[in-house]
Structure formats: C-alpha cells, structure tokens
Structure 1
Amino acid sequence: MTSVDWLREVPIAHRGLHDLNRTRWENTLSAFEAAAGAGYAIECDVHLSADGKAIVFHDGTLDRVTGRKGNIGEVTVEEARTLRVGGTDDHVPTLAEALNLIGGRVPIVVELKGIPGRDDGLVAAVADDLASYAGKAAIMSFDHHLIRLFGKDAPGVPAGLIAEGLRDAELEAHFSMLAYGIDFVSYNVHHLDNRFVKFVRAKLGLPVISWTARSVADKATSDAWVDQITFEGFDPRAV
C-alpha cells in the first residue's frame, strides 16, 4: 500500500472549482486553475479517447457538456481540442494538459470512468501520464474491473475505491475489493455511517474521503464520519 495521508489535508474540489457550470464549467482547465489558485485539491474524471489517451470528461456522451451528439470514446485528442465546453472558451482537455497546468501546486485525484468493452488501456494511459508527474496524485474508480487492473497497469500509483450503499450485498462487494491493495476509499456522503467505512478507517487505518458534499449539512455529516470532503457549490472554508 502507498501512503496517501495527504488526502486528509485539504478539501477536494469536485471536477475542479467550477461555479455549477454557469460560467466556469466542470472538468475544465479554468476550473482546475481556480482550484489550484484557491489551494484546494482537485478531483477530475477521465475516459479513454479514440486514440488511446486519457481525456478529462465525466459523461459517456457529449451532449450535456458540449452540445454535440456522440460518445466521448469516439473522440480523438485532436478533436477534443475543438470541443467547446458549455459554450465557453474552454476545450475538453487531456489529463496530460491538466497535469501540466496544475504542476504539483495541489493534489489531484483522478477518477477513471469505465465503459466495458471500450476502456481497454485506460488504466495504463493514466499511469503513463502520471509517470513523470512530480505532484501528489492518486487514481480511483467505481468500476471493479478497472480496480483489478490498478496493480498491474499502474504499479506504485496510489489507488482507491469509490463506493456507495448501505445494504449488506453492497458492503460485501466493497469488502471484496480490499484484496486488490487499495490505499483509500471515497464514499457517498449520504451513506457514511456503515461498517465498511468504519473498518477501513479503524482497522486498516486508510483515509476515507466523501463525495459529493453540496451543502454545509453535507460537510457536517462528512466531518463526523470521514477524513475529508469532495465538494462543489459552496466554500467549505467559509463555514
């Protein structure tokens, strides 16, 4: 396991420090610059581009963010540079562009978005981008098929499980992923009081962060049960 105690240090801006997509959109270089400038850690999402690179984007389809039809996995890096996000001047960036911009000023946590059958090589692509990055960085995913590849395709990169749920079957599935040497957990802020989170923190001593706090009440819940929040839509330092 790799130490990621730095996850506990500062709040994590969900998809960067955006303004709920009014003028500064999620997962853009503008949102990452705003977060870095404010001293917040950054969470971002990546998919695999059509030409095998890690591209920063949340949805599987293009329409909500770019107004274009199609799937993100069909877009090349060159085409991504032409896609305007929310009608702004920001384009869809690669992970390499994001890392170059952040430059180690604040930590970054990269969520890998799996699409079975269309994500072969995603873990390796992210690991390749992080190989020469000197800043604090970690990867994580909901997708168990990707987490099973972390040790092989991204050796030495701090890695986490994103999870949610309170039912026994859900919790047991999360426990099964501990066999893959995860270094931290990110859990739904509305499902925090559960035996899996307690075990990870108390028995394993691993950091647990929450997603996604969108209010002062969410922050209070997170503070009561885990080590740090992933937030959006409010300033956690102002409360």
Structure 2
Amino acid sequence: MFILDLGSGLMLILKAFGLIVFLMCVLYMLMIMPRVVNKPSSEPFTRVLYAHRGLHDNRSNAPENSMAAFRKAVEAGYGIECDVQLTRDGVPVIFHDFTLARIARYPDGCVPADAVPNPDGSLGVKGKVVDYTYEELLQFHLLDSDEKIPKFEEFLQMVNGTIPIIVELKIELKDLAVCRKVDELLEDYKGIYCIESFNPLGVMWYRKNRPQVFRGQLSDAFHKDKPEEFQGPLYFILTNLLFNFLTRPDFIAFNHKYANCLARRICRRVYGNVAAAWTIKSEEELAKARKHFDIFIFDSFVPQSGPKA
C-alpha cells in the first residue's frame, strides 16, 4: 500500500512538473512573439542589399556615414543603413558612435591638448555628439576626408526615395527624443524606410505611436560577441528577444555570426518574422547568410551580384 501511495505521489509530482514546463514554454513563446497581425509588407525591403553606413571606405574621401558614401550607394542602387542621434540642440544627425573620437577629427592646426588618442595613433575629438550643437560639429571633419557629420534631413533630401533605407535610432538609456525628431522628418518623406534600434524603448515608441511603420529589433549574442563588455541579465534578455512582448517587431536584425540563436530562429521559422543580417563582410559570409536571413546589410566589400538581393 505504501509503495502504491509513493508511486501515485511521484506521478502527481511528474505531472505537475510537466505542466509547469509546458506553461513556461507557452510563456516564452508569447514573450518572444513578434508582430503577427496587421503588419506592413516586408517585400519592399527584401529587394536590395544594404550598404552599412553607406558605400564607404574609411581610408577614402567617402568615410562611413558621410554624404559622399551615401551618394555612392544611391548611384550604385544599394539600399542604405544609417545611424541617427541628436545633437545638444536637438538636430538629428547621422553618426554611429555616441562618442566622437573614432571618426571625428579637428581641423589641421587646431588640435587641442585634450584630444583623444585612438589606437591607430590619430587624435580624435573629445566628448559625445550630444555635447555639441550642430553648428559646433561643423568644425570637425570625418577622418582624413573633407566630409562633415550630415544632418538626417539633408540625407533624406539627397536620397529622395530612390532606394529603401534602414534607420537605426541611437538611444542612450531612456531618452526617446530622437524618436520624435526623426519621426517629424520621416512623416513627409515619400520613400521606403524602416526603423530599428538596439534599445527596445525606441522600438516600443514606434509600436505605440507609428504602428504603420515597419520596425525592427536589433540584437546580438552579446555574451559571445563581446563578453568583456556585455554581461548581466539585461543582455541575456536582449539576446533572447524577451522584450518582444513589448515591442512586437516586424523584423529581427541579428549578428549573422550567431544565426543559430534559438529565439531568433523561432521568430523566423515559427512566426514567419523577417530576419536581417548584420554585418556581412565577404562574399562567403553573404552566401552563408542567405540560408538564415532575408535582409542583408554589408560592409568592407562590394557584392559581386550588385544591389539586387
């Protein structure tokens, strides 16, 4: 009798455990679920390959995120991925890093004593983009070129709807002013565009305020890509797309090196979510990524196939 009671108790425990596992799986699937209804068409975004920060070469007169690099991409027919953040006076400009030192340079003969030394021996501009007004930023140039940090408005006027663009919103912490400022400029833009951000708050802003806009969540296998920088629960949540229940993205833009990330694969295979690959740096990587992704952002080479995806 005791043995029977023990067996019955064990079965109840196993059933309860199975139910808990099942409910956790359901909760997980609901949390990572992207937008599945009333979503914009992805077709306009999958036609072309995207030049990362323009068709640039940082050793040339067309460095990253410069008007020269963007013009080259437009002339070649490539889509463009660019990065937008705000100056101190609230002007949306195109620049990738929050800090200026890696790319921005002082005019010849005007390098101050507190210029920031870079690993390559060059001296970069001190501070962040947000520390300067737009007019103050105009004194600096991009690397060894004559190019200046461009206004996002200037970029939109140049592209003028000729190619699709992917706009990455650079958001520090909770400051969503860039979402509002960028949206004001895009509201009257007639071309094809989508937005993406590593910060879920930015994607969530678009979900709430501009649901008709194709929106994407940027992510990475942070603990694998840069373990010395990205540790802790926040990066675990970001890697595993556990903020999707807040953002309900239309696409996931993921580091192509980690295409096997479970959450990313579920979003694409189970939910039919569009997958964007960043950043492809060779023909071999492009060929490999085609099996796992639908949108391709490239850098450091010019695809032999041309702009067509």
Tell me the equivalent position of 1:98: 155
In the TM superposition, 1:11-50 aligns within 5 A as 11-50=49-88
Q: 2:166 is matched with which residue?
A: 109
Q: Which of 136, 143, 148 is the aligned partner of 1:86? A: 143
1:6 to 2:33 alignment: no
Give 5+ residue unaligned stretches, structure 2: 1-38, 106-124, 224-234
Q: How does 1:186-201 map to 2 (within 5 A)?
A: 186-201=253-268
**Over alpha carbons, which structure has the higher Rg?**
2
**Who is 1:208 aligned against?**
275
Residues 166 and 191 of structure 1 are in contact (CA less than 8 Å); yes or no, is this contact kept in structure 2? Answer: no
**SS of 1:93 mapped into structure 2:** coil
* 1:177 matches 2:244: yes
CA offset digits 1:148-195 (Å, max 9, x no partner): 222234443221001111889457740432442311111101001232
**What is the count of residue pairs matched by the alignment?**
238
**Once the two structures are superposed, what CA deviation does each residue of 1:44-92 show, in whole Å capped at 9, x if it has no partner?**
0111111122210011111111122121012222223332111322110
The match for 2:202 among 142, 146, 159 is 146
Gaps in structure 1 of 5+ consecutive residues: none
Larger mean CA deviation between 200-209 and 47-56 belongs to 200-209
Distance 1:94 1:193, change over 3 A: same
What's the offset of the Cα at 1:206?
2.5
Task: Look up the SS of the partner of 1:145 in the other structure.
Answer: helix
Q: Give the Cα separation in 2 of the matches to 1:28 and 1:61.
A: 16
Q: Is the 8 A contact 1:209 1:227 kept in 2?
A: yes
Q: Which moved more, 1:84-93 or 1:174-183?
A: 174-183
2-side partners of 1:152 and 1:54: how far apart?
21
* Alpha-carbon separation, structure 2, partners of 1:71 and 1:214: 28
Aligned ranges 1:156-175 → 2 under 5 Å: 156-165=212-221, 169-170=236-237, 173-175=240-242
CA deviation map 1:189-222 (0-9, x unaligned) = 1001232222222232222110001112211221
Q: In the aligned structure 2, how far is the partner of 1:185 from the partner of 1:199?
A: 11
Q: Percent identity of the aligned residues?
A: 31
Runs (4 or more) in structure 1 with deviation over 3 Å come to 152-155, 166-173
When normalised by structure 1's length, the TM-score is 0.91
The corresponding residue for 1:126 is: 182
Q: Residue 237 of structure 2 contacts residue 243 of structure 2 at CA under 8 Å; is this kept in 1?
A: no
Question: Which residue identity is paired with 1:160?
Answer: G
